[in-house]
Structure 1
Amino acid sequence: MPAPTAGVAGTWNSRWQKDLKQWQVGRPDAVSAQKVIRACQRADQWQYALAVFFDLPTRRLVADRKTLELTIDACVKPGLWSVAIELMERMQDESVTPDLSVSHAVLRVCKKSGRWQHAVHLLFHTPVTPDAGSFSSAISACEKGSAWEHVTAVLFAMPLEVLPPGTACGAAVSACKRGGHWHQAIALLDALLKMKATPDEISYNAAIVACGKKSWEASLQVFERMRVLHIRPDIISYGSITHACGASGQWERALFFFQDLRLAQLQANEILYSSLIKACDIGGEWQVALELLRQMHMDSVRADVVVYGTAISACEQDGYWMEALHLMNSMVESTIEMNLVCCNAAVSACDKGGQWQRALLLLNSASQLSLQGDTITYSAAISACQECYKWEESLELLRIMMGEKVEANEITYTTAISALEKAGYWTSALTMIARMSEVALEPTIASYGAAMSACDAAAAWTFAMNLLDEMLRKRLVPTGLIAGSALGALRDKRRAQELLSELLPYWFRLDHSQPVAQGLEQIASVCTVLASAPGILAVMKPAGLRTEELVASLERVGFQWPLYLVSRLDQPTSGVLPLALGGDGSTAVNWLQAQFAGRLVEKEYICLVEGRVGELGFSGKISTPLLTIRNGDQMRTEVSEMGRDARTEYEVRALYIAANLSLELSLLSVQPHTGRTHQIRVHMASIEHPIVGDLTYGSKRDPQQFPYADRLFLHCSRVRMKDFTFATFEARAPLPSKLSQVLEALEPLEPWLREWTTVILGATVTFLFSYFFYGWAALQALFELDGVYREVCPAEEPLCSDRGSRMIFLYSVDNTVTILSGTIFGILVDRTGPVVLCILGAVLQSLSLLLMGWTDGNPSNVMDPLLLAFVIGGVGGTALMIQSLKLAFIVAPARFALVMTVANCLVDSSSVVPLGLYRLYVAGVSRGAIFTGYAALCFALSMCLAYSWCGKPSARLHATNQQESDAAESKRENLSTSRPRLHGLSVREQLCTVEFAFAVTFMMTMVFRSNAYLGVIKELLQDLGDAKVDNLYTQVLTLLLPASTLLIPLFDICMKRGGFAVTFLVVLFLGLIWNVVMLIPSLGVQVVGFAAFTNFRGLLFASFFTFIGHTFGNRTFGRINSILWFLTFLTSLLMVPLTELSKAWTGDMTAMHVVLLIVCLPAVIMTLLLALHLRKYPAGDIIQSQQSRPEEAQKARPEV
């Protein structure tokens, strides 16, 4: 019966007492007993009802069926199933057969108490034939006890003439729903229809809910069946289907049913709105969720705290903190009591939106609302602070959390460790890891990852290795990102790759697959495949397409492996996009993530920036920290001291000018060494050279005035890493045609005349001034005529026994200073470019020449002015010589060799110039005037060269296809159509190669032989009687020195026919000729030997510097040469002692000549080894490169 109102309940409460009192004092009969029991049952006084029933025998009354039924009904609400069954059994013992009403009453008690076993037993073991109501009660009892198997058994045990009512059908389906068996629920509906039963909307609603938990598609089928059977869906039906779709992320379908409900003129309730908003929350559609909340207010449906909490959670996912706070204000205005769930969601929204101050204000507001923050609240607030680098606030929150006895979990500690990592306090991060063990918390993989990242930033590799070992001992396999932090902490590429190989087996234990990209033609319709290897696929990402959208498109074409993003390109950026073949946590993903995080991947970008960055070949480095701020789904990066470490290197490749704007542009090759968001764009903007087309960080020029800015000119041209087999994987992407058209539309900043002016002027300055002090034989003659060092040095002077020895000493000092300074300048030219060296050389060399012209030598004084002039001149001349090495990267090598030949023949400072100065002095010009004029000329030409370097002669880079890209790269790198394999390596890696070992051996031996011969030739000629003919042979040999460069074109012939190995063997052969001729004591023969020496020296330096530039590349050219110069310095120290020993043993230079022959042996051996080695790498030898690609080589590469 329906529940009584308050007035009716009060009436029954007073009536049962009166009836009970009358029963106790009056003359009872069966009718009065039934009256009392009914009154007690309605007043929920079941104890008195049972007392009256059991008092019947004492009153000599017999309980009939009606009395028993009323008594059992009194047991329904308290669930006294055992008493009800006992009463029924007593009735049978007294030979009173219970009827259906009694049976129904007992079944209702069993249903109420959930005793489905007894209900089923009574259904089939009572003498009363059960009807539809009996079966319905038994089915409801089974449904309440989740006994869905017995529900179907009871239902199908019903006689055909007994059709189950709608409630029974609903209960049966609900039983399947409770057990999570949605298939059985649908099958049950089908069976009921076959039984010609009539399941109502309750049954279908239950089936929709049952299917919605596992299969939203099945829920749709059930809902559509209702319409087919003309069963009108009610608000519960729509609520159930909406919840089923929303819980599965089908928020669009949920909104469709919401619109259908409104068309059916049904009023949505708060439950349905809550399901819709929850669906939008799961689908990340916070805007739709807020719109539904507004619609809810328009429909006059009061939103409760659950609805607001769901809406705030929808805003929290994408960090829309302003909307989340607005919803909280609406709750306060609507007098809805705030709960901790809403507060936590709002704090998390502020966390993801980078609003740490508001997160702290919300935390304080929770306390004012008498809400005690829990672990989630504090963890979100700590995360908000650490994301904004507020590590002090993060630790203070952790302290407050512990003071308020809020339990901190692993997430809380991990967030605090991340805050310390971003602040650079790696020791405190390690302390926090140890503290977790003290509070009985086991550090998670994320905790170790945060601490290891802190060690990476501080290069604390020993502690990082300890953390890694601890993880492996605890059977925690590090992810690729965590392993990358350990690799980065090593700061050593070789050791990092060794550690990476040790971690590979751990990942293989979790994932044994080694995916290989096959069937690449499937994705050809989506994008271009650049390269593939085990576990790696590199594709060409077009500009204007989000990286995630490209991957989704590839997966839709049915590629056989999952694709995982390990690196991203900005939407407006094009180029190489490497993808891992595997899902999250697979070996391929961890392998690539470790290399990216450990900075083992080499990436090269091509970008066009505004303004002049530097001269051609100029390289720079930007290391300002970057801070990324998130605002919803938007991110912006800025330079900030609170940011993370970021390093970018760049090199000027070409220079252009936009004629309509008179705007200079620089084409750069950029290598990011860290992976910060928008790193290249922000770094270039920070040095006031924004990338063309960058509307976020750039100058935001009007596209109509600046048509080159219709897209971002940033292109990832190369990616290099290791695959599973540790083979080098390299993918290259040619410059898109649209960007190539931009370059073609621009005007080169410098015409070809400027390039050749720089080369010719540089060659002239180099030969006219840098080698001046190597012509000391002519200088000695000039000084002797002027009286400098004419007298024999005092016997007590240990460094000078005669003037010849003194000049040898000066030459040795100059050679030592030259090589030592060359070691420093070689490093400097890679970092600052040639301008600084050009200016420095001009100043020092001019000062040295002035000292040489206006001071006299004093061999008895340690501070000999002439010695100081030689030292300063050695440093200045070396600076001028080192800057000239970069000239080879402007024009083709053969043309450069021709210019250097002509310049050397005309103005060689080691032969022609000193001899010319000697002849001027003989003609009567004073020494001071000669050297003053020479110093003025040196300074003027060197400063002109510096100005020309500042003019940045350019080399254009247009690459519409791969061959043209290779050709442009070849011109820049100077020799080969296929880029040699050592160009992308670091200096440390290049030092561990066979090519460098050859360079060291060959350079040390050959330079020692060359310098030793120049040091002793004057004395050799004097011993043979040169002084008797007024130094005629000295002048002849001096004039022969420039002739060495006349045979430099022979170098080109050797390279084309035999490569580097054959060229070096020819150089050695020429060296052996003059070495043997030196042993013959004849002035005429010595002239022939010296001619062979000049050819040897010319080919030696031409071939050697070409080999260094071709093999190691422009980026490390100066540093490699500086190391070689230092090593040759060590051998040069042996020159003077070996000369003196030769005099002591043989009385002349014979022993010295034998030594020079012996040192050829290691050079010959290393040359043969180089020849064998270059066969493995055709790109390392020019002739092999030509033979491997003859057609492309003739078209794409410059003449060699």
Structure 2
Amino acid sequence: TESATFLQAKGSGSSPGESGSIGQRLSRVEPRRGQRKGQESSSSQGSQTKLLRQLLSLGPGASLNEVQEVIKTQLERWDDQPKLATVVLKALATEGWPEVAQHVLRIMRAAGVGVNEFHVGCAVNSCQKGGKWQLAAHVLQEMCERQAFPDKYGYNACLSSCEKGGGWQMAMVLIQLMPRKRVAPTHISYGAVISACEKQGEWLLALRLLRNMPEQTLAADVINFAAAISACEKGGQWQSAISLLLEDMPTGDVAPNSICYGAAITACERAGRWEHALSLLSLMLPNRLVPNGRQVGSAANALRSGSGRDSAFSLLQAFRQIWMQQPSQSESLSSALRHVNPPPLDAKGNAEIQVLRIGSGVVALLKPAGMRSEGALRKLSLHCRSAGGFVKDNNNNDTQFTLVSRLDRGTSGVMPVSLGAEGSAATNWLQAQFAGRLVSKEYVALCQGPSLGACGTKGEVTTPLLQVDDLEGQTFRTEISSLGQESTTSYEVVARYLSPKQQAAGSELMLLRVQPRTGRRHQIRVHLASIGRPLVGDGDYGDGAASAVSCPRLFLHCRRVGLQDLGLNDFVVEAPLPPELEEVLATLARAE
């Protein structure tokens, strides 16, 4: 049975928020009595740096015995100087290695080394990166049972893990437990719990938490209000969102920021309340807040649904005049790009990225399959810089490109990019069109499954989609869920093919023309898979390698994009089907 003697930490240790490099933090550690400061500091720093290298070399899946073998020679020093253990645990938190941090705490307890609230805080903080709220809660519970009571940093780290990992019920338990453990909740505590409820559509709980804050002698701040308004937006409570913005915030003497207005506008968009959305937009400018492209586009989408496409574009053009008053280098960058030589070829003689067309404030790239959208943008930036194609902004910095729409790594095709930084007129103009659903996009996809009907058959999938985080805190899957966002995908059967691998009676291959009416991540792939027609080559939502036909990649290509550039000119770009996908179709026999 493990046994441990816990020492009370009275002002010793460092908070989980302590800054500086590992070497800098170690250099501030006090020397042990009887030794010279310089000598001990150098010795401590050297031994701790070596220990950290050894510990990190084990990897995040290191076993308890492996960790013990590395740290056992330092345990006596850690007992005398708790800050040294804090530095190690802080490093593990930065890496996001909660299992290793928990091993360190267990070894410390078993060896009789004092564990204080800072050690616990760091261990819990290590769970945040991956949203491993169950492990964070377990560490808190274990420390409480052993009388090493966590402080506000430990609780807040656990609450943050719950928020990121979807553990809203545990977050609710912890926020109520904190006062009983004589730990006063902070604005950060409430912000994390309200956000956790917001992500799960628990808008009533979010409002209750916001209004319970005065009981803890806390006045809700703008971050707490923003999270609560967003919870109302996701819960379809547009009236409550407006009430918080226009009544509760002024009563609490809290000035709304752009995020608060944006969430309330989106709530009105989802409810089709375009008049209210426009009213909120009109309130931003007098409060010295310039609506961004997404906010204007959100209102424009509501207006488009209620009054038509022309009215929506009229709204965008009104704000275009406001955005154009800001300094911009987009026209200079457009001109410079036209004189830049094409990007270099890869080992197979193909250009990694291609510039298909350049317009006012926008450039259309041909993104190949297997490359992330961010990677394509980075390659374009590097090529322009090396070719002297950049122009300088007013601060003598290179004018930036900004992604306004993304293609999945496995998807090829047309990808429009803004010729301007975030917040520029070019970026706002394009973002407004995408948010307002005023951009036409057409994909070519090959799916498999039961027949959808004869060529020319049209259909639509309208199930809501929810993004789900993986254990590393990165969105990697999209699921059908009633908690998700409104999503619409239209399709038309272009061609039908016999399946070379007859997997089920009536199964065939269908070439579709697909038009996503909304822009959710993995939307086409998830929607078609949800109706039993997964895309060929889709290893995430389909059969992957077990597809009915051999395909070297995901069969999804963005063939056409149409929008307006910053000069109000039609900007329509097309990209033919890549050769590797044409070759797949050439091997198939028509079904009719």
Please state which band the TM-score falls in when normalised by the shorter chain.
Answer: 0.7 to 0.9
8 Å contact from structure 1 (residues 723, 729) kept in 2? yes
The equivalent residue for 1:398 is 210
Give yes or no for contact 2:500–2:549 (8 Å, CA) kept in 1. no
User: SS state of the match for residue 594, structure 1?
Assistant: helix
Q: Could you tell me which residue of structure 1 aligns to residue 341 of structure 2?
A: 521
- Cα distance in 2 between the residues matched to 1:717 and 1:727: 20
Query: Which position in structure 2 is the counterpart of 1:443?
Result: 256
Q: Are 1:286 and 1:311, in contact at CA under 8 Å, matched by a contact in 2? A: no
Shift of 1:552: 3.7
Q: CA deviation at 1:670?
A: 0.9
Distance 1:673 1:403 in 2: 46
The amino acid across from 2:302 in the alignment is A
- Do the aligned partners of residues 242 and 274 (structure 1) sit closer, same or farther apart at CA in structure 2, a change above 3 Å counting? farther
Cα displacement (A) at 1:724: 1.3
2:590 aligned residue: 748
Which residue in the other structure is 1:652 paired with?
493
Aligned to 1:748, the other structure's residue is in SS state coil
- Contact (CA 8 Å) 2:500, 2:548: kept in 1 or not? no
Deviation track 1:740-783 (CA, whole Å, cap 9, x = no partner) reads 22211221111xxxxxxxxxxxxxxxxxxxxxxxxxxxxxxxxx
Cα drift, residue 551 of structure 1: 3.2
Segments of structure 2 that go 5 or more residues without pairing to the other structure are: 1-18, 28-35, 58-66, 346-351, 391-398
| Aligned position for 2:484 | 643
Q: Does 1:616 align with 2:455?
A: yes
Alpha-carbon distance, 1:313 to partner: 2.9
In structure 2, what is the Cα distance between the partners aligned to 1:625 and 1:567? 20
The 5-angstrom pairing of residues 586-601 of structure 1 reads 586-601=424-439
Q: Does 1:607 align with 2:417?
A: no
Select 1:354's aligned residue among 157, 161, 166.
166
Cα distance in 2, alignment partners of residues 608 and 691 from structure 1: 6
Show the counterpart of 2:422.
584
Unaligned stretches of 5+ residues in structure 1: 1-211, 223-230, 245-250, 751-1200
Distance change (3 Å), C-alpha of 1:292 and 1:354? closer
Q: Give 3-state SS (helix, strand or coil) of 1:643's partner.
A: coil
CA distance in 2, matches of 1:464, 1:399: 25
Confirm or deny that 1:493 pairs with 2:302. no
Q: Which whole-Å deviations, capped at 9, do the CAs of 1:847-882 have from their partners, x for residues lacking one?
A: xxxxxxxxxxxxxxxxxxxxxxxxxxxxxxxxxxxx
Q: Secondary structure at the match of 2:128?
A: helix
The superposition leaves residues 393-449 of structure 1 with CA deviations (integer Å, 9 ceiling, x where unpaired) of 222222333444432111111111111111222122111112211221111110000
For the residue of structure 2 that corresponds to 1:316, the secondary structure is coil
One-letter code aligned to 1:676: R
Report the alpha carbon displacement of residue 476 of structure 1 after superposing the two structures with TM: 0.4
Q: For 1:367-386, what aligned pairs fall within 5 Å after superposition?
A: 367-386=179-198
How many Å apart are 1:732 and its aligned residue? Answer: 2.2
Higher gyration radius (CA): 1
Match of 1:713 in 2: 555
Work out the number of aligned pairs and report it.
512
TM-score by length of 1: 0.40
Q: Deviations over 1:953-1000 (max 9, x none)?
A: xxxxxxxxxxxxxxxxxxxxxxxxxxxxxxxxxxxxxxxxxxxxxxxx
Q: Distance in 2 between matches of 1:452 and 1:294?
A: 47
Could you say which residue in structure 2 is the equivalent of 1:695? 539
- Alpha carbons of 1:295 and 1:707: their partners in 2 closer, same or farther (altered >3 Å)? farther
State whether residues 324 and 346 of structure 1, in contact with CA within 8 Å, keep that contact through their aligned partners in structure 2: yes
- Alpha-carbon distance in 2 for matches of 1:735, 1:243: 57
Write the letter of the residue equivalent to 1:236.
Answer: S
Note the C-alpha offset of 1:276.
Answer: 4.9
Amino acid corresponding to residue 162 of structure 2 in structure 1: C
Q: Which residue of the other structure, out of 502, 519, 526, is the alignment partner of 1:682? A: 526
The one-letter code sitting in structure 2 at the alignment partner of 1:679 is Q
Cross-structure match for 1:336: 148
- Kindly tell me: are residues 375 and 295 of structure 1, through their superposed partners in 2, closer, same or farther at Cα, counting changes over 3 Å? closer
Say which SS state the counterpart of residue 277 (structure 2) adopts: helix
* Distance change (3 Å), C-alpha of 1:304 and 1:529: farther
Aligned to 2:371: 545
Give the conservation status (yes or no) of the 8 Å contact 2:101–2:126.
no
- Which residue is 1:474 aligned to? 287
Cα distance change on mapping 1:745 and 1:590 into 2, 3 Å: same
Residue 380 of structure 1 aligns to a residue in which SS? helix
- Alignment partner of 2:566: what SS? coil
Q: Higher RCO, 1 or 2 (CA under 8 Å, sep at least 6)?
A: 2
Structure 1 residues 236, 613: CA separation in 2 closer, same or farther (over 3 Å shift)? Answer: farther
* Equivalent position amino acid for 1:623 in 2: T
Which amino acid letter does the alignment assign opposite residue 258 of structure 2? I
Q: Secondary structure at the match of 1:470?
A: helix
Runs of 4+ residues over 6 Å off in structure 1? 216-219, 238-244, 251-256, 265-268
Deviations 1:585-630 (A, max 9, x none): 2333222222211111111111111231222112222222222332
Task: Return the alpha-carbon distance in structure 1 between the equivalents of residues 47 and 326 of structure 2.
Answer: 39
Deviation at 1:252, TM superposition (A): 8.7
Cα separation, partners in 2 of 1:483 and 1:422, compared to 1, 3 Å: same
Residue 470 of structure 1: how far off its partner (Å): 0.5
Deviations along 1:215-248, one digit per CA (max 9) or x if unpaired, are x8998xx9xxxxxxxx99856348779999xxxx
Task: Spell out, residue by residue over 1:1083-1112, the C-alpha distance to the aligned partner (whole angstroms, 9 max, x if none).
Answer: xxxxxxxxxxxxxxxxxxxxxxxxxxxxxx
**Contact kept? 1:242, 1:272, Cα under 8 Å:** no
Distance 2:23 2:466 in 1: 49
SS of 2:174's equivalent in the other structure is: helix
Structure 1 residue 477: Cα displacement: 0.7
- SS in structure 2 opposite 1:447? helix
Deviation of the 1:314 alpha carbon: 3.9
Indicate how the Cα distance of structure 1 residues 360 and 532 shifts in structure 2: closer, same or farther if over 3 A, else same. Answer: same
Q: Which residue of 2 aligns with 1:846?
A: none
- Kept after mapping to 1: 8 A contact 2:441/2:562: yes
**CA deviation after TM superposition for structure 1 residue 354, in Å:** 2.0
Residues 219 and 252 in structure 2, CA contact (< 8 A), matched pair in contact too: no
Q: 1:914-993 maps to which residues of 2 (within 5 A)?
A: none
| Secondary structure class of the residue paired with 1:459 | coil
Partners of 1:718 and 1:693 in 2: CA distance = 21
* 3-state SS in 1 of match to 2:494: strand
Q: Are 2:103 and 1:294 equivalent residues in the alignment? A: yes
Judged with a 3 Å threshold, the aligned counterparts in structure 2 of structure 1 residues 233 and 685 are, in CA distance, closer, same or farther, namely farther
| Residues 740 and 243 of structure 1: CA distance in aligned 2, closer, same or farther (over 3 Å) | farther
- Residue 236 of structure 1, aligned match among 24, 35, 41: 41
1:672 is matched with which residue?
A: 516
Secondary structure of 2:366 counterpart? strand
**Change in CA separation of 1:342 and 1:296 when aligned onto 2, cut-off 3 Å:** closer
Change (3 A) 1:742 1:625: same
CA distance in structure 2 between the aligned counterparts of 1:254 and 1:481, rounded to whole angstroms = 45
Alignment of 1:723 onto 2:549: no
Residue 454 (structure 1) aligned with residue 280 (structure 2)? no
- Residue 620 of structure 1: SS of its match in structure 2? strand
Say whether residues 1:625 and 2:464 are aligned partners. yes
Structure 1 residue 570, shift from structure 2 partner: 2.0
Distance in structure 1 (CA, Å) of the matches to 2:343 and 2:117: 49
Considering fraction of residues, name the structure with more helix. 1
Contact 1:581–1:589, Cα closer than 8 Å, also in 2: yes
**Residue 416 of structure 1 aligns to a residue in which SS?**
helix
Asked if 1:423 is matched to 2:235, the reply is yes
CA, structure 1 residues 328+553, in 2 after alignment: closer, same or farther (shift >3 Å)?
farther
Relative to structure 1, the CA distance from residue 696 to residue 254 in structure 2 (aligned partners, 3 Å threshold; closer, same or farther) is closer
Partner Cα distance (2:39, 2:342) in 1: 48
For 2:447, what is the secondary structure of its paired residue?
strand
The answer to whether 1:534 aligns with 2:360 is yes
Residues 77-99 of structure 1: per-residue CA shift (max 9 Å, x gap): xxxxxxxxxxxxxxxxxxxxxxx
Q: Is the 8 A contact 2:560 2:574 kept in 1?
A: yes
Residues 354 and 629, structure 1, Cα contact 8 Å, conserved in 2? no
